[in-house]
Chains A and B, each alone.
Chain A
Amino acid sequence: MRTAFIQELINQARRNQSLFLIVGDLGYSVVEPFAQEFPDRFLNAGVAEQNMVGVASGLAAEGYHVFTYSIANFSTLRCLEQIRNDVGYHKAPVTAVSVGAGLAYGNLGYSHHAVQDIGVMRALGSLTILSPADPGESRECVEWLANNPRPSYLRIGKAGEANLHDIRGIANGPIEVKRSTGKIAIAATGSILSVALEAAKLAEEKGIGVSVYSCPWLHPVTPDFFAPLRWFEHIFALEEHMPYGGLASILRDAPLLESKVHSIALNPEPPASVGSQRYLRDMSGLDANSILNRIVSLS
């Protein structure tokens, strides 16, 4: 996803002279092509995220649309008040980009797990929040942001994710990736959409129809944004995030959905052992078999 991100950013920067990329001393083997092609619109701010966002807000006040790039929580929580005041309050066109959404940096440990970011960024109220599931969605998110500069947060995965669908329209509502006749849906945000599709397939083998939706667009939403989900009796909100403030909360806040949402999220207790993204998902019940069991228990 990070490769798709940088390729699309370069693509957009070729037509849009205002795009600027600041990195917080991270992005090795990712951001170099942008830096080489647009040296006047690239900056390594060093390991100083508060200043990075402050500088971004100053550049934004002078006409740039600035993307601030770092990993995990460094581009969000480390400089939270700068995002709130310097960016959100001033309506500055700054997009905070976090690479390694959820558990993507699994074995690097809890410091590198971005699992509260959606809730925290959403609580600010002033940011558009986008959380793509695959490289294709990432490209569309970058394209949309470049055309709609505003305070925003882009939460992307790492590298090597497969494309899961080719449907466009991130701003129109949840994306129906798999249609089924049953009254059960899984709505997922981020790369864990792939697990939602696996679980739906397992359910189908047991004769249970499950539709799957990708939710790259998280905030802000109109009252009818999630209307396509109203038809279902049960909606599983699947996310690599704490159960607070993320996708489950967003869906429960949507009109007519509150009582139908079942959260499949991370255990609030930080993991005591390390492991890959897959291992940590399994430990938290964010794997296809665990999801299948929850679906079966409803039927």
Chain B
Amino acid sequence: MVASAKASHIGGALSMADLLAALYGGILHVKPEDPRWPLRDRFILSKGHCCTALYAALALRGFFSIDELKTYGQEGSRLMAHVSHAVPGVDFSTGSLGHGLPHGCGRALAAKRKAEPWRTFVMISDGELDEGSTWEAILFAPQHGLDNLIVTVDYNKIQSLGNVEDVLELGPLSDKLRAFRWSVREVDGHDHHAIHRALVEVPWERGKPSCLIAHTIKGKGVDFMEDKLLWHYKSPDAGQLEQALNQIGCPG
């Protein structure tokens, strides 16, 4: 997708791919044949620039055809290069950072007010933890006892123009979130079993929102992309694409 559309953001898509695999592989209650099923778990991708990974997960789950993925970012396609609610299975469009978690809080609050059992999952990036609006929502969720809200942080430690520690260091992130009254766990964001074990047990504490800090590697799975800021921007050429697909064991 990224190569044929000459798009960007493959690094951040690969860093959260394992999280999405765990979520769509056995955590989220969804019905691909009925994307707006009222009792589905809501999933909000706040790091909307990395939507290729989500589109792939949705296509693999049968929300739309795998063939349609070829249209990503092309003229007239609904597969926009920032996640779009025009796509079956996508609940909310993002692209500007710091919007997903406040929206997710509203969804979770609605479920609470209506006493409905579905949950809201929000995937955020480490970079957007710079946004004040994200912290407004972090204050809000525990205040309203949103234990039906689950945030996963794709903590790959590289943001748009540098390493997180060199731009606005987030650590100690777990301690900060606990101080903000969240229930927090950390996990290897590429260990499917560990991610599943953590998420299958939410909420971890009654009355508190859950935050899974997933330690990830930007560009995970492709050696020349791993931990490289360059792959926030660069689009692989034909040779790099073939090499990358071979490395992740995926036929072109």
| Contact status B133-A61, CB under 8 Å | no
| Contact status B99-A63, CB under 8 Å | no
Type the 1/0 row for B86-113, where 1 means its CB is closer than 8 Å to any CB of A: 0000011111101101111111111101
Query: Chain B nearest CB: distance from A221 CB in Å?
Result: 28
Check A55 for interface membership: any CB of B closer than 8 A: yes
Query: Chain A nearest CB: distance from B206 CB in Å?
Result: 21
Check B161 for interface membership: any CB of A closer than 8 A: no
Check B140 for interface membership: any CB of A closer than 8 A: yes
Check B85 for interface membership: any CB of A closer than 8 A: yes
Check B136 for interface membership: any CB of A closer than 8 A: yes
Main secondary structure of the interface of A (DSSP, over half): helix
| Contact status B105-A58, CB under 8 Å | yes
CB neighbours (8 Å) of B95 from chain A are 85
| Contact status B105-A85, CB under 8 Å | no
| Contact status B107-A62, CB under 8 Å | yes
Query: When chains A and B are docked, how far (Å) is the Cα of A56 from the Cα of B104?
Result: 10
Query: When chains A and B are docked, how far (Å) is the Cα of A40 from the Cα of B136?
Result: 22
Query: When chains A and B are docked, how far (Å) is the Cα of A82 from the Cα of B96?
Result: 9
| Contact status A54-B111, CB under 8 Å | no
Query: When chains A and B are docked, how far (Å) is the Cα of A90 from the Cα of B48?
Result: 15
Query: When chains A and B are docked, how far (Å) is the Cα of A24 from the Cα of B142?
Result: 18
Pick the contact of B114 from A51, A62, A81 — CB < 8 Å?
Answer: A62
| Contact status B139-A58, CB under 8 Å | no
Query: Chain B nearest CB: distance from A15 CB in Å?
Result: 19
| Contact status B111-A62, CB under 8 Å | yes
Check A86 for interface membership: any CB of B closer than 8 A: yes
CB neighbours (8 Å) of B133 from chain A are 50-51, 54, 82
Query: When chains A and B are docked, how far (Å) is the Cα of A62 from the Cα of B92?
Result: 12
When A40-B113, A46-B139, A90-B85 are in contact, do A85 and B106 touch as well, CB less than 8 Å?
Answer: no
When A61-B91, A61-B92 are in contact, do A48 and B140 touch as well, CB less than 8 Å?
Answer: yes
CB neighbours (8 Å) of B107 from chain A are 58-59, 61-62
When A58-B108, A59-B110, A62-B110 are in contact, do A53 and B102 touch as well, CB less than 8 Å?
Answer: yes
Number of chain B interface residues as a range: 20 to 34
Type the 1/0 row for A226-263, where 1 means its CB is closer than 8 Å to any CB of B: 00000000000000000000000000000000000000
CB neighbours (8 Å) of B171 from chain A are none
Check B252 for interface membership: any CB of A closer than 8 A: no
CB neighbours (8 Å) of B92 from chain A are 61, 86, 90
Type the 1/0 row for A39-75, where 1 means its CB is closer than 8 Å to any CB of B: 0110101101011011111111111100000000000
Pick the contact of A63 from B110, B140, B143 — CB < 8 Å?
Answer: B110
| Contact status B105-A89, CB under 8 Å | no
| Contact status B106-A58, CB under 8 Å | yes
Type the 1/0 row for A81-101, where 1 means its CB is closer than 8 Å to any CB of B: 110011001100000000000
Closest A residue to B113 using CB positions: A40
CB neighbours (8 Å) of B98 from chain A are 50
| Contact status A55-B93, CB under 8 Å | no
CB neighbours (8 Å) of A82 from chain B are 99, 102, 133
| Contact status A45-B110, CB under 8 Å | no
| Contact status A55-B96, CB under 8 Å | no
Query: When chains A and B are docked, how far (Å) is the Cα of A62 from the Cα of B178?
Result: 29
| Contact status B140-A85, CB under 8 Å | no
Closest B residue to A91 using CB positions: B85
Give 5 A-B contacts (CB < 8 Å), ordered by A residue. Answer: A46-B139, A50-B98, A55-B106, A57-B103, A85-B99
Known A54-B105, A61-B91; 15 more pairs at CB < 8 Å? A43-B109, A45-B140, A46-B139, A50-B132, A51-B136, A54-B103, A55-B106, A56-B106, A58-B102, A58-B105, A58-B110, A62-B111, A62-B114, A81-B99, A82-B133
Which residue numbers of B lie inside 8 Å of A, CB to CB? 85, 91-96, 98-99, 101-111, 113-114, 120, 132-133, 136-137, 139-140, 143
